[in-house]
């Protein structure tokens, strides 16, 4: 089922492999942590953005470790075959090899598109174009300066849970009172809203309880500049299948889920601040970090407990309540992908 899902969901869906800022300069390359060996996105000397499968055509070694860097060429760590940033095989590695010249030995291309400062790539035949899948999302995010944010922190963690449990958990606040009392005190689940479902994305709102200004210890901005317009609201988005955005009054949370096995998922969590924060003397993001370290640990622990529970022959299949509407819609999209139908 894991391999089946990788082929139907992860190789046909649009995956957020980078933010546009990471690929601005010629020579930039980003390698994603998955699926499998992952995808590469490069910005060539001609300023074109391209994507490739992260695999050498000689004997299949993974070309680049996950992460962002700047390079002149892509060099395979195994026997040193070298690829240009446009994916063509560079100078012949040894006489007579590869056979019949270098043509036809380039990297296997993938598709790549940009959406509001996010770089989305698809390894295979996408279920639909980005413009169609994420129609309306650009307008939703218009007030957030997504192309000019400042990275406060990136953390990678591994959860012993299937990636879908983590996505479903993100899509509902029903679990706030027992799992996240500190979050429930700021953004009560009773005041959660769902944005009308459209395309391959989900949207939800959480209203801040008076007099709180943001999601941080004490609920106060503490001098941190706002991200966009003043709103007593959190906006959460899931870009199917595995990119999660949470727009807070003064920062952006970006989570990406990279399944490593049926019961194991790598979570890359980033916290981004508005550009003004970087220039602010005495700017202190640590209260935000510690707040989310705790909430994220609570989510990981409960999803891992759910993963263990789902293995029980005593579990009969479950149900979704009304406030878990988005989680249900997500499960329905997965079901359609299983049936080889477009998920949305």
Residues that bind ligand FES (CB under 6 A): 56, 58-61, 76, 78-81
Selection from Fe ion, ligand FES, none that 59 binds (CB < 5 to 8 A by kind) is ligand FES
Q: CB of 299: closest distance to Fe ion in angstroms?
A: 4
Look-up: residue for tokens 């075959």?
81
Q: CB of 183: closest distance to Fe ion in angstroms?
A: 7
Burial of 312 (0-12, 13-18, 19+ CB in 10 A): exposed
Give the burial string for 271-282 (b: 16+ CB within 10 Å, else e).
bbbbebbeeeee
CB nearer to ligand FES: give 58 or 147.
58
172 sits near Fe ion (criterion: CB under 5 A): no
Selection from Fe ion, ligand FES, none that 76 binds (CB < 5 to 8 A by kind) is ligand FES
Q: CB of 273: closest distance to ligand FES in angstroms?
A: 40
Selection from ligand FES, Fe ion, none that 170 binds (CB < 5 to 8 A by kind) is none
Selection from ligand FES, Fe ion, none that 120 binds (CB < 5 to 8 A by kind) is none
> Cα separations (Å) of 53 from 9, 48, 88, 108, 142?
16, 17, 13, 6, 31
Q: CB of 96: closest distance to ligand FES in angstroms?
A: 15
CB nearer to Fe ion: give 113 or 299.
299
Please check whether residue 275 is in contact with residue 150, taking contact to mean a CB–CB distance below 8 angstroms.
yes
Selection from Fe ion, ligand FES, none that 79 binds (CB < 5 to 8 A by kind) is ligand FES
CB nearer to ligand FES: give 62 or 301.
62
Selection from ligand FES, Fe ion, none that 299 binds (CB < 5 to 8 A by kind) is Fe ion
Q: CB of 300: closest distance to Fe ion in angstroms?
A: 9
CB nearer to ligand FES: give 48 or 73.
73
3-class DSSP state for residue 330?
A: helix
C-alpha span between 147 and 20 (Å, rounded): 7
Closest CA to 268 of 34, 64, 56: 34
- Written as one string, the DSSP assignment of 295-308 is HHHHHHHHHHHHHH
Q: CB of 169: closest distance to Fe ion in angstroms?
A: 5
Q: CB of 122: closest distance to Fe ion in angstroms?
A: 28
CB nearer to ligand FES: give 76 or 216.
76
User: What are the backbone angles phi and psi of residue 244, rounded to the nearest 5°?
Assistant: -120, 130
Which two structure tokens, joined as six digits, stand for 139? 């307008």
- Written as one string, the DSSP assignment of 87-151 is S-B-S-SBTTBSTT-STT-SPPEEEEEEETTEEEEESS--SS-HHHHTTTHHHHTTTS-GGG-EE
Closest CA to 325 of 206, 198, 172, 184: 172
Q: 3-state DSSP: the chain helix, strand, coil percent, rounded to 5?
A: 30, 30, 45
Q: CB of 6: closest distance to ligand FES in angstroms?
A: 22
CB nearer to ligand FES: give 59 or 70.
59
Among positions 274-313, residues that touch Fe ion (CB under 5 A) are 299
Using CB under 5 A as the binding criterion, the count of chain residues that bind Fe ion stands at: 1
C-alpha span between 197 and 251 (Å, rounded): 24
Residues at the contact surface with Fe ion, assessed by CB under 5 A: 299
């Amino acid at each position: 089922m894991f391999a089946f899902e990788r082929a139907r969901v992860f190789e046909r869906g649009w995956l957020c492999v980078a933010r546009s800022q990471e690929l601005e300069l010629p020579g930039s390359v980003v390698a994603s942590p998955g699926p499998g060996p992952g995808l590469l996105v490069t910005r060539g000397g001609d300023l074109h953005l391209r994507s490739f499968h992260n695999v050498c055509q000689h004997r299949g070694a993974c070309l680049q470790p996950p992460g962002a860097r700047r390079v002149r060429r892509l060099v395979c760590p195994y026997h040193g075959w070298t690829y240009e940033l446009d994916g063509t095989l560079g100078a012949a590695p040894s006489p007579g090899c590869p056979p019949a010249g270098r043509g036809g030995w380039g990297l296997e291309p993938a598709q790549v598109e940009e959406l509001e400062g996010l770089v989305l790539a698809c390894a295979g035949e996408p279920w639909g174009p980005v413009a169609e899948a994420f129609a309306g999302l650009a307008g939703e995010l218009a007030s957030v300066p997504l192309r000019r944010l400042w990275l406060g922190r990136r953390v990678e963690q591994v959860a012993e849970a299937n990636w879908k449990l983590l996505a479903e958990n993100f899509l509902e606040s029903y679990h706030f009172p027992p799992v996240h009392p500190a979050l429930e005190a700021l953004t009560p689940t009773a005041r959660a809203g769902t944005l009308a479902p459209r395309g391959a994305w989900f949207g939800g709102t959480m209203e801040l309880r008076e007099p709180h200004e943001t999601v941080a210890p004490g609920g106060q901005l503490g001098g941190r500049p706002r991200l966009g317009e003043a709103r007593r609201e959190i906006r959460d988005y899931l870009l199917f299948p595995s990119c999660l955005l949470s727009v807070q009054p003064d920062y952006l949370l970006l989570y990406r889920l990279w399944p490593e096995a049926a019961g194991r998922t790598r979570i890359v969590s980033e916290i981004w601040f508005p550009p003004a924060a970087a220039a602010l003397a005495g700017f202190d993001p640590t209260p935000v970090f510690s707040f989310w370290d705790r909430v994220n640990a609570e989510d990981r622990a409960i999803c891992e407990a759910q993963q263990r529970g789902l293995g029980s022959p005593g579990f009969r299949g479950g149900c979704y309540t009304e406030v878990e509407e988005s989680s249900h819609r997500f499960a329905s999209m997965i079901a359609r992908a299983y049936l080889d139908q477009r998920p949305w």
